[in-house]
Structure 1
Amino acid sequence: MLTATAAPTLHLHQEEKLTSESQSQSNAADGLLPVPVLEDYDISPVTGFAPHDQPLPRLPQSYFQPWEETMDQLNHFIDSRQLRSKVDQWPILDVTQLTTLRERQRAYVLLCIVAHTIPEPLAVPWVAVSDILDIAPVLTYASNNLWNWKLKDSKGPFELDNLETLSTMTGTKDEDWFDIVSASIEIAAGPAFKALVDSIHSVRADNIRAVIENLHLAHTQLDKVSKLLPRMFENCDPAVFYWKIRKYLSGSEGTAGLGLFDGLEYRGVGVNNINERRYYMGATAGQSSTFPALDYFFGVTHHERDNNSANTKPASNALLLKMRAYMPAPHRAFLNHLAQTANLRPYVLSKTASDPESQDVQELIKIFDACVHCIKLFRDTHIQVVTRYILTQTKRGPPEGWEDYRVKVEDQSPSAVTKAVGEEKSTLEEKEEEGAGMKGTGGSELMPFLKGNRDETNAAKIVAPIKK
């Protein structure tokens, strides 16, 4: 079994240093930066940015059992409003007793999920293990999705129907499904990265047939990725997501509307242990490394947008760059490396310019655009998900008896659900426009951000967009 290995911890302020050091190690024969090796960045050619050896379901040391025992009854403690008093009873544990990467990731998952109350026994080890992992001490996409799953059948496939979430905050099947669909998307993209890294080598060798073959391999996986997100609708009720789950995904930045005017106080953290207030984005799919990597591979560029305008500025999208701080450090380093070595789109453009009538060039353009189209389709579906799960719910308001979703929301009749879906489809564009100004859990202006990403993806195609 292939096992991803961990890259050295990379601190945010060290990224420029890594870039310059990497450049100094360029291949002397061709003067080019070496092509990245996936395993060097804790990326698996089988499961992508999700760990191939599976996240730890539990910390093995008895020393950390106060954390695990709280997680065992987390849903009960939240519902009975006992969580804060339970956490206050924790000892302040020393995270240096976490000896492996997967143990540190499990500890980070535990503390992220229990958090947003942040008494000292939680804040001190949480910030410490986050510093070791070089990732923000807040619920992130990594803690909620990348490192929070297991195989139902350990010998079965790495596929959606064989995955389940290790820990949730609400105990609902809806939250489990919401998280595990995201994890399955990450895993499905894994084999595409192996093929796309190989394509960089093929471009450097000017082997057009090898480039085409690698793109076909990547397309097979990207087609699977584009078809996974619509499965969100199968087992995650939009009302449960919006009114029960979504509040746990919010961070402490730009959340005055939730009563967090001054961020969150991390007790026992700061100079001389003075309680420190911090502001962080919430967990969001924008913190996934998969789609920034695909953007680099296929030459998709994202630009800053004027407020309340479709106009773009030359600068890179600041929000997308900001989200890098919430990604695992090895994955950030991979994106840095990839940004300097990705060469597919310039290669396709050069071949198109030099020999547009060649059969190989025509096939190259076709398969390149087909891959980009898969990413565009995924982003189309993402807009539909946001419309149904956020914009529609905001307009309707909470359902009667919404405090207990496991009883009330699941009693909706199939005909009512079908009618609601029909209404959403018929007014999708209208709701997209209504979504102007609506914030995502990561703090973004939802619809301009998502539609901009989708349109910029489509613009990376070499020929006219493929019609549905």
Structure 2
Amino acid sequence: MDLEKYNISASRGFLPLTDPIASLPSSFQAWEVVAAHLPDLLRAKTVREEVERLPTFPTDDLSSEAEWWRAFCLLTFVSHSYVWCEGDVGVARSLPEVLAVPWCKVAHHLDMPPVITHTCGVLRNWRRIDQNGEISRDNLKSLFSFTGSVDEEWFYLDTVLAEFAATRYISQVPAILKNCTVQNYSGLVENLHEVEQAIKAVQDAIYHMRDKCKPAVFYKQILSFQVGWFNSDVLPEGLLYKGVSDTPLQYCGGNAGQSSILATLDTLLGVEHSECVNEVHATQMKHMVQEHRHFLKDLKATVTLRDCVRSSNDDQLLTAYNKCVQALMELRCEHIKLVSLYVVVQKGKEGGQASSQNGGIGFMRFLKTSRDDTIKAKL
């Protein structure tokens, strides 16, 4: 399997093959200025009037895919600021044409929904401070922000580091597929040891979310900008994209379930999920980068690891496989702890019950069912 065919690399995993660009051509300057000053505009409550002054977004000036992605992220952050700048009470029920038309055009070009996604907030929302340095904690800055806070930046960048940590097991995929074909069991043991260690590195990365992103700040200042308009109490019919649709459209917001790293592990290890979880996964896949969706589909049609382990009668291989399943289960447990700390506990402090939905079922139920399904995959 050629990873680069799917815009995936053995050195960066699902992160872009080249760093996201930091600005668009000069014809987009007015838009870049608004995007750069979103935290100030949100604090001053002048986002909507600034948006209404903007010139037509010159989509014809976009040339490279890097520019299309930059445009998508910029339009996404500005649009979500426009919708949620007044909170639930003053939520905008429609987007003006100056935003809706270019956002949908760019989204269509990239085969993405016009709503905030994991790709906008994480995969395409970083730069290296030292262009010759590593992708590391001390060498990253985010490109877009709603609040401008350290907490929000760390929310994005710590997830970038989790994606980068996953590179170690993504790079093993071609070798695993080959070793399954030739029944190279000793080679598979080595591959799976790398996979196990990589999963633990991803877990360690997301554990460090606590370092600089305070739960109360996340819940009160950041979370509201991450939500979409599907099954929304304040936008029950969805959002009207003026100049695009005569009726409101419904889209889920961004979340970690739209990352391909867990889906890759599930597919690679042959984890079978419950119907309710699969329904959520199907929705989340629509928010993934098109090439990554193709990768997961082709991997599912190709991988034979679980059957290979089952029929090998090799105790070392069986142990290595089960250690990977155990590590994946523990990673999901860590994710549950984070969601509980950053959402459920914070909601409780506000005097209510966590009722956020994820694909039509309670998000904690979704996470716990995913964890339980993973445990059942052990051989």
TM-score, normalised on structure 1? 0.75
Q: 1:58 is matched with which residue: 3, 23, 27?
A: 23
* Alpha-carbon shift at residue 81 of structure 1 (Å): 1.0
Structure 1 position 328 matched with structure 2 position 245: no
- The answer to whether the 8 Å contact 1:251/1:441 transfers is no
SS at match of 2:275: strand
Give SS of 2:171's match: helix
Deviation at 1:441, TM superposition (A): 6.6
Q: Structure 1: which amino acid aligns with 2:157?
A: I
Asked if the contact 2:333/2:371 (under 8 Å) is kept, the reply is: yes
Match of 2:220 in 1: 243
Q: Which residue of 232, 237, 255 corresponds with 1:262?
A: 237
| Structure-2 residue corresponding to 1:85 | 49
Alignment partners' CA distance in 1, 2:337 and 2:139: 25
Indicate which of 281, 290, 295 corresponds to 2:252: 281
SS state of the match for residue 278, structure 1? Answer: coil
| Unaligned segments of structure 1, at least 5 residues | 1-35, 306-315, 356-360, 399-433, 463-468
1:97-131 CA-to-partner distances (Å, cap 9, x unmatched) read 21111111111110111113322111111000000
CA RMSD of aligned residues (A): 1.7
Matched residue, 1:390: 343
Query: Which residue pairs with 1:187 in the alignment?
Result: 164
1:92 is displaced (CA, Å) by: 1.8
Give the equivalent residue in structure 1 for 2:355.
Answer: 438
The 1-side partners of 2:33 and 2:359 are apart by 30
**Identical columns (%):** 34
Q: What's 2:121 paired with?
A: 144
Aligned counterparts, 1:214-229, within 5 A: 214-229=191-206
- Cα distance between partner residues in 1 of 2:47 and 2:114: 19
- Check whether the contact 1:282–1:441 (CA below 8 A) recurs between aligned residues: no
User: Shift of the alpha carbon at 1:276?
Assistant: 4.2
Shift of 1:43: 0.9
Q: Say which SS state the counterpart of residue 248 (structure 2) adopts.
A: strand
* Whole-angstrom distance in 2 between the partners of 1:58 and 1:444: 39
Matched AA of 2:366: F
SS at match of 2:299: helix
Deviation at 1:440, TM superposition (A): 4.6
4+ runs deviating over 3 angstroms? 440-444
Which of residues 97, 120, 139 in structure 2 aligns to 1:120? 97
> How far off is 1:77 after superposition?
0.7
Q: Is the 8 A contact 1:200 1:342 kept in 2?
A: yes
Answer with 1 or 2: which has the greater Rg.
1
State the shift of 1:338 in Å. Answer: 0.8
1:392, distance to aligned residue in structure 2 (A)? 0.8
User: Per-residue CA shift, 1:345-377, capped at 9, x if unaligned?
Assistant: 1100111xxx3xxxxx22111221222222211
Say yes or no: does 1:232 pair with 2:203.
no
1:397, CA displacement in angstroms? 1.3
Q: Does 1:350 align with 2:314?
A: no
Q: Distance in 2 between matches of 1:441 and 1:171?
A: 27
Contact persistence 2:96–2:242 (CA under 8 A): yes
Give, as a single letter, the amino acid of the residue that structure 1 aligns with 2:68: R
Specify the alignment match of 1:203 in structure 2. 180
Change (3 A) 1:381 1:344: same
Query: What amino acid maps onto 1:317 in structure 2?
Result: N
TM-score of the superposed pair, with normalisation by structure 2: 0.92
2:221 and 2:172 map into 1 onto residues whose CA distance is 40
The superposition leaves residues 21-43 of structure 1 with CA deviations (integer Å, 9 ceiling, x where unpaired) of: xxxxxxxxxxxxxxx32101111
- Which whole-Å CA distance do the structure 2 matches of 1:77 and 1:325 have between them? 31
Q: What is residue 89 of structure 2 aligned with on the other side? A: none
Residues in 1 aligned to 2:63 and 2:228: alpha-carbon distance in whole angstroms = 29
Contact 1:200 1:344 (C-alpha < 8 Å) held by counterparts: yes
Question: Is the deviation greater in 380-389 or in 275-284?
Answer: 275-284
In structure 1, distance between residues paired with 2:183 and 2:358:
44
Aligned with 2:172: secondary structure?
Answer: helix
Q: Quick check: 1:159–1:188 contact (8 Å CA) kept in 2?
A: no
Offset at residue 221 of structure 1 (A)? 1.9
Aligned mates of 1:90, 1:234 — CA distance in 2: 38
8 Å CA contact 2:115, 2:253 repeated in 1: yes
